Amino acid sequence: MRTSGIRWALAAMVGGIMVVGWAPVAWAQVEQKSMTGMIGEEQIQATVDALTSAHGPQCRDRALAGVRQAAQFWREQDGDAQAFQAFCVAQFVAEPGARQDLLERFRKNWEALSGHQVALTRTLREETDLDAKASMPVDLLFATLNPFDHLSDDLYRTRLAFVALLNFPEPDLTRGDLTRQDWAAARLVRSLAMRIPGAARQAQTMAYAAADDYIAAYNIHTDALVAPDGTRPFPGGPKLISHWGLRDHIKSMYTDPVGNLGRQRLIATVMDRILRQQIPAVVIDNPAVLYEPMANQVRARQPGDPTPSADREADVRYARLLEVFAAERGIDASSPRYPTHIARKFEFDREIPEQEVEALLTAVLSAPVAKDVGRLIRKRLGRALEPFDIWYDGFKARSTLAPEHLDSVVRERYPSRDAFQADLPNILGRLGFDPETSAFLTDHIVVDGSRGAGHAMGAGMRSDAARLRTRIGKDGMDYKGYNIALHELGHCVEQVFTLNRVDSTLMMGVPNTAFTEAFAFLFQERDIEVLGLGTEDAAHKALRALDAFWMTFEISGVSLLDMAVWRWLYANPEATPAALRQFTIDKAVEIWNRYFAPVMGVRDSAILAIYSHMIVYGLYLPDYAIGHLVHAQIEDRIVGRNLATEMERMCVQGRLTPDAWMRGAVGAPLSARPLIDAARGGLKALR
């Protein structure tokens, strides 16, 4: 249910990401003392004088900006001040046509570097990401190997980074007169804003890989779950990954909210045990024991077998998060412009200030319409709301269809990976893409069976293809796998457009991860229509608006928790796993009581802390909430228009700032208002 972090990590190398309503700090304005460079003002002016003498006074301003940019990253190992000046004199390009040629050199070679990094990483992670082979202990070691961890070092050691910094001063990206070449050059130098040692990158890779492996193997066998009355409510039930599979199983049971209430409560209890680290370790991914979540007891599945240990899992979940935090702290010292992981995520990756994101989240959480939507859900369910009803799924078109029927339809249509791959042109056609564009997209998307919940991995070069990963069982794809596949297809189509049809690969991608999530939501919510089991009408549109609001309401709370946890980690860098666990639970309850209890009518739930993203993706969750807001604005834009045509038009803008991208795509800045207004309109239409 995400786009792979690999392609987005490459943004740090192939071009950064810019921001809504925020003027980036010009490099020349950053105080020299805040950097670790060794070139002082006297040497900078002497170098600029030499360049002006050689190329004329018309180049002085650009030379000054470029020399300052390069000087901020020059270290003792790069040479003395004389070597710096000699380098600048040799590498400064004055003539505009030659600068354009230089930019093209970087574009071509940056694409080659990023493309081969993606391809190599994909190969090394194949056994951990895909379910085609049995796991071996060595697989995790290959997954933690990244020969590109030292790339940042190499770019500076070879002085390639300094050539780019010298010749392409970063402009003010809030200006409205920037050319496409200006944008491409800005993305090039933005990618060099951090000089991270290879050892620190390697530690980061290992920490995230270990967390990912932990989560990928965190499965619960539902047929082993025992209710308080001794029955087993899920005979032959599926193995579900936490949290994705458990949450989605709760969602699937709203087709019979009365008959399935006990089953939903049982899974919600499992979730609570997981996030509190109370679950017996023997239960995790183990079909050989029976587990009663309410009593938190285990017993042997077969009479006469040894009684399994009931010892809890300890605090592995939170230890993994602390390892990720420690790895990010290792990056901090080499990133003075973005001195924390929080700063890197908001100011560098998203390019939306943390405070602005928080304001967008709280605007959704505080919207009065939330209580109205909650009342409608209560009426539709015919009972008081419970904490897991934050995942109420009854507004979706699939809510009137039995899960077994949906599974049957999907399995018959997609008995294998190959069947789904072969049907991509038809799926895209149903979404509005013409045959030529569908064929182009299909040629650039490869479907794989995922070991985890599913993800999309975009290519890094035009000769490669995006990968769509979803779970495909031995009996074929079930509805959950199909629903995830539609989500990942949205990612992949965006990835293909923004790599292959953008004018410069230095600008590949969208402003940040939230924007690709918006396109994934756009596809995912049309899954029933694509199957041919439903049609769009006024009532459907109204329900879809309410569904979009309710999903955003839920994930906004989870996002606030993710942000709060990372703030706490930086305030408590020596914290133990137990202390982190307690803070996370307490904060989840605090956020719940402030925003959710008035809507849900129940207090003190910690359910917001169940998200696996918090453990493995390092402040990823706000991208979902922002993505829903972008999605709402895109939905509003495409009313009466062709989805496919509009999507391509938006995507080929490339990686502008979020504000510039939104204005070009929908004619307005990023806002929570369209989502909230649509929910109000949906309620009115249903009355």
Confidence class for position 3, pLDDT limits 50, 70, 90: low
pLDDT at 19: 25
> Of 25, 6, 40, 13, which is closest to residue 161 (Cα–Cα)?
13
Judge contact between 286 and 301, C-beta under 8 A: no
Q: What angle do CA 520, 521, 522 make, to 5 degrees?
A: 90
Task: Name the residue with higher pLDDT: 8 or 555.
Answer: 555
CB neighbour list of residue 86: distance below 8 Å, 6 or more residues apart: none
Residues 627 and 637 both lie in one domain: yes
Element (H, E) at 468: strand 466-470
Q: Average pLDDT over the chain, rounded to whole?
A: 91
Q: Decide which of 317, 347, 380 is a domain's last residue.
A: 317
Task: Specify if 261 maps to a domain.
Answer: yes
pLDDT digits (tens, 9 = 90+) for 7-60: 434 443 333 222 222 233 333 333 333 344 689 999 999 999 999 999 999 999
Residue 118: CB atoms within 10 A of its CB come to 24
Q: Do 469 and 330 sit in the same domain of this protein?
A: no
187, 169, 192: which is closest to 67 by C-alpha?
169
Looking at the structure, tell me whether residues 339 and 301 fall in a common domain: no
Tens digit of each residue's pLDDT (9 = 90 or more) over 283-308? 999 999 999 999 999 999 888 788 89
Domain-ending residue, one of 264, 295, 317: 317
Rounded-to-integer distance, Cα 228 and Cα 662, Å:
52
Is position 189 within any domain? no
* Statement to judge: residues 414 and 348 lie in one domain: no
Residue 200 lies in a domain: no
Say yes or no to pLDDT of 339 above 70: yes
- Does any domain span residue 179? no
Residues sharing a CB contact under 8 Å with residue 126, sequence separation 6 or more, in sequence order? 132
For position 166, what pLDDT does the model report?
A: 97
Angle CA 220–623–111, to nearest 5: 105
pLDDT of 399 over the 80 cut: no
Burial class of residue 232, CB neighbours in 10 A (0-12, 13-18, 19+) = middle
Helix 369-381 / helix 538-571 crossing angle, nearest 10 deg: 120
The answer for residues whose C-beta is within 8 angstroms of residue 183's C-beta and 6 or more apart is 173, 504, 507, 654, 656
Rounded-to-integer distance, Cα 509 and Cα 113, Å: 16
What's the pLDDT at 196?
87
228 has pLDDT over 90: yes
Indicate whether 209 belongs to any domain.
no
Statement: residue 380 has pLDDT above 80: yes
Question: Strand 239-241 to strand 219-221: parallel, antiparallel, or no bridges (unpaired)?
Answer: antiparallel
Distance between CA atoms of 246 and 121, rounded to whole angstroms?
Answer: 29
For 663-676, how does the pLDDT look when each residue is reduced to its tens digit (9 = 90+)?
999 999 999 999 99
Q: Which amino acid is at 107?
A: R
Neighbours of 327 (CB within 10 A): 22
**Closest to 346 in 3D by CA, of 566, 554, 666, 553:** 566
Q: Same domain for 357 and 465?
A: no
In which domain, by residue range, is 344 found?
Answer: 319-395+535-686
User: Which residues, other chains included, contact 368 with Cβ-Cβ below 8 Å and sequence gap of 6+?
Assistant: none
Computed on alpha carbons and rounded to an integer, the radius of gyration of the chain in Å comes to 26
pLDDT at 334: 86
Q: Name which of 449, 442, 438 is nearest 465 in CA terms.
A: 442
- Indicate the range of 18-22, 459-463, 478-482 predicted with least confidence: 18-22
Looking at the fold, whether 510 and 605 belong to one and the same domain comes out as no
At 309-327, the pLDDT tens digits run 999 999 999 999 999 999 9
Does residue 541 sit in the same domain as residue 680? Answer: yes
pLDDT > 70 in the chain, percent: 94
Do 224 and 267 sit in the same domain of this protein? Answer: yes
Q: Is the pLDDT of residue 679 over 50?
A: yes
Of the listed ranges 9-13, 110-114, 346-350, 486-490, the least confidently predicted one is 9-13
Look at residue 175 and give its three-state secondary structure. Answer: coil
Co-location of 549 and 524 in the same domain: no
Q: Are 511 and 472 in contact (CB under 8 A)?
A: no
Does residue 681 lie within any of the structural domains? yes
Please tell me what DSSP assigns to residue 24: P
Residue 566 per-residue DSSP state: H
| Claim to verify: residue 386 and residue 417 sit in the same structural domain | no
- Give the CA distances from residue 319 to residues 210, 267, 326, 589, in Å, rounded to whole numbers and listed in that order: 11, 24, 10, 21
Q: What is the pLDDT of residues 570-584, one digit of tens each?
A: 999 999 999 999 999
Instruction: Clarify whether residues 271 and 307 are in a common domain.
Output: yes
228 with 313, same domain? yes
Least confident of 105-109, 380-384, 402-406: 402-406
Q: With contact defined as beta carbons under 8 Å apart, do 466 and 444 qualify?
A: yes
Instruction: Tell me the HSE value of 666 on the side-chain side, using a 13 A CA sphere.
Output: 21
Q: At 598, is the secondary structure helix, strand, or coil? A: helix
Asked which of 191-205, 318-332, 601-615 is least confident by mean pLDDT, the reply is 191-205
Indicate whether 453 pLDDT > 80: no
Per-residue pLDDT reduced to its tens digit, 86-117? 999 999 999 999 999 999 999 999 999 999 99
Q: Using omega within 30 degrees of 0 as the cis cutoff, is the peptide bond preceding 491 cis?
A: no
- The residues, ordered by sequence, that sit 6+ positions from 105 with a Cβ below 8 Å of its Cβ are none
User: Mean of the pLDDT values across residues 127-151?
Assistant: 86
pLDDT of residue 231: 95
CB neighbours of residue 64 within 10 Å: 18
Distance CA 447, CA 642 (A): 26
Q: How many domains in the chain?
A: 4
Gap between the Cα atoms of 483 and 498, Å rounded: 23
Q: CA dihedral defined by 674, 677, 679, 684, rounded to 10 degrees?
A: -150
Domain end among 531, 548, 570: 531
198 falls within a domain: no
Average pLDDT over residues 401-422: 93
What does the pLDDT look like over 178-192, one tens digit per residue?
999 999 999 999 989
The average pLDDT across 602-609 equals 98
Kindly state whether residue 97 falls inside one of the protein's structural domains. yes
